[in-house]
Amino acid sequence: MSTPEMLHPELLAPDDTHGILRDGHRLDHAEGASKPLRSRPEPQPRGAKVHGSRPIDQAEAAARFIDAAEHEKMHDERLWDLRQKRDREMHGIAEWEELRSLASAIKEHTLTRLDRYLEQFEANAQSNGINVHWARDAAEHNRLIHGILSDHGAKSLIKSKSMLTEECGFRPYMASVGIDVIETDLGERIQQLDNEDPSHIVVPAVHKLRTDVAEVFAKKIGTDPANSDVHYLAEAQRDATRPLILKADAGMTGCNFAVAETGTFVVCTNEGNADLSANVPKLHIASIGIEKIIPRLEHLAVFVRLLSRSALGSPVTQYTSHFRGPRAGGEMHIVLVDNGRSERLGVEEFWTSLKCIRCGACMNTCPVYRRSGGLSYGATYSGPIGLIIDPTFNQRKYSNLPFASTLNGSCTNVCPVKINIHEQIYAWRRVLVERHETPLAKRAEMKVAGELLSRPAAYRAAVAAADVALAHLPRFVIYNGLNAWGRHRDVPHPPKQTFHSWYQANRGGKQ
Ligand code: SF4
């Protein structure tokens, strides 16, 4: 009889004799990062405090992240490194801008004919032997999958990373109905064991130092808390998770692209974990957001060339797996999920956010995100893309998020599908102010500013008074615990002369 190892040689134990060897040693996955840290580790800053639908105080959580100097430095450097790698890859492709335009055009074409392509995808997937379901919202998605699992008597589910399932609160729901969900992506598994959401859509645990991971693993899988060697930690995790994978009743994946003309879908990973989730158990369920559709297989090449380069600065993901139908003797289900997407599609200013291919490039380049960590947003999606998606789920709760941006436009410049991200962030600010979804203090400040700016004489008098006041005010008036502005900034010295008075003196009356 064949053993699981014979059926799945990729699952062999890390200390087996079949490992990839060079000069008698196992290959290192992260050269130079394997020496255990000796100094006392800095505690990991936690994310935003979430209280129901009360507005998330992103600035407060960001300030705590910035105060954790080691975390802030590591996070900033790691993400900037990804941005630089992305730039190097981009410069290696002469037709990069044409690819971006083409990707944007394909997405816009598809989104404006989404009903037609979804029906084509459904029909072709069904003819491939796949069961296709539709979920209007997160609750229906969770119920549907619970129903499929119950029909099969499944009690455990291995799953690869999927932001859609995060959006649907899938894991907490499954826990409430007694189904054990095991994440197979390493970063996502770290976050699951630490009871945290992913902080980045591509690298979920990027905000953690390896000492943080050592602490989590020590508590949850019994590793040595003093050992933060990355090989030790990764292999301990493999040892702990592999038996769970082998005996799981069902497997689940997300989807990067669903092809209407073939009824197939594609999942891109670097760890091969989606292939484990899809192929080890006989039952495979895939959650697919309806915006993931592309019309034809030939369009896939455009997105595959852009995705990994934009995300991690690598030419391609290690695994680009195509799923066409159930494996022999198995069963495959697809759940096509709306959860607010068709409503967003009807909003003129924000519908193009549905073009997003979840590469994370806008996060890697954003100066606010890099220094505040993804968990400070208190939402499924963080960084620039989060600022324009999250308020579509709950305007009050995420009303502060569109203000967590410098509007420098770097996100828009790197976006592989040319979403005008910074313009949409700006548009959200206007919408939220018009709908009175901003804090009372901010509204009062804006009212005063509006009054001043609409009266030139009053504005000039206020500027002159502020210059005098700034020169003579005691420091504690600006730099105190109550004034968030003064916490990380120095007030510039007021100029001796304002531009207006200079202009009057030197160019007065001239055009
Ligand atoms: S908005 Fe653009 S850059 Fe940001 S994750 Fe989506 S596709 Fe990538």
Q: How far is the CA of 356 from the centre of ligand 1 (A)?
A: 5
Answer yes or no: pTM beyond 0.95.
no
Query: Which three-class secondary structure string do you get for 24-55?
Result: CEECCCCCCCCCCCCCCCCCCCCCCCCCCCCC
What is the residue with the minimal CA distance to atom 2 of ligand 1?
A: 415
Query: What is the number of the ligand 1 atom nearest to the C-alpha of 355?
Result: 7
How many whole angstroms separate alpha carbon 399 and alpha carbon 431? Answer: 10
Q: Which of 368, 272, 257, 373 is nearest to 306 (CA)?
A: 257
Q: Which of 288, 272, 260, 447 is nearest to 358 (CA)?
A: 288
Ligand 1 in contact with 421 (CB < 6 A)? yes
Residue type, 416: P
Give me the pLDDT at residue 252, please. 97
What is the residue with the minimal CA distance to atom 4 of ligand 1?
A: 362
How many whole angstroms separate alpha carbon 86 and alpha carbon 359? Answer: 11
Query: What is the number of the ligand 1 atom nearest to the C-alpha of 384?
Result: 4
Give me the pLDDT at residue 2, please. 38
* Residue 125 exposed, middle or buried by CB count within 10 Å (0-12, 13-18, 19+): buried
Q: Match 């969770």 to its residue by tokens.
A: 142
Query: What is the number of the ligand 1 atom nearest to the C-alpha of 357?
Result: 7
What does each of the 511 residues of the chain score in pLDDT, given as a tens digit? Answer: 333 333 333 333 334 443 444 454 444 444 344 454 546 789 999 999 999 989 999 999 999 999 999 999 999 999 999 999 999 999 999 999 999 999 999 999 999 999 999 999 999 999 999 999 999 999 999 999 999 999 999 999 999 999 999 999 999 999 999 999 999 999 999 999 999 999 999 999 999 999 999 999 999 999 999 999 999 999 999 999 999 999 999 999 999 999 999 999 999 999 888 899 899 999 999 999 999 999 999 999 999 999 999 999 999 999 999 999 999 999 999 999 999 999 999 999 999 999 999 999 999 999 999 999 999 999 999 999 999 999 999 999 999 999 999 999 999 999 999 999 999 999 999 999 888 888 787 788 888 888 888 998 888 888 888 877 777 777 777 787 777 777 777 887 777 788 888 888 888 765 4
Q: How far is the CA of 103 from the centre of ligand 1 (A)?
A: 12
DSSP classification of residue 406: -
DSSP element (H, E) containing 93 = none
Query: Which three-class secondary structure string do you get for 187-242?
Result: HHHHHHHCCCCCCCCCCCCCCCCHHHHHHHHHHHHCCCCCCCCHHHHHHHHHHHHH
Q: How far is the CA of 488 from the centre of ligand 1 (A)?
A: 29
Give me the pLDDT at residue 149, please. 98
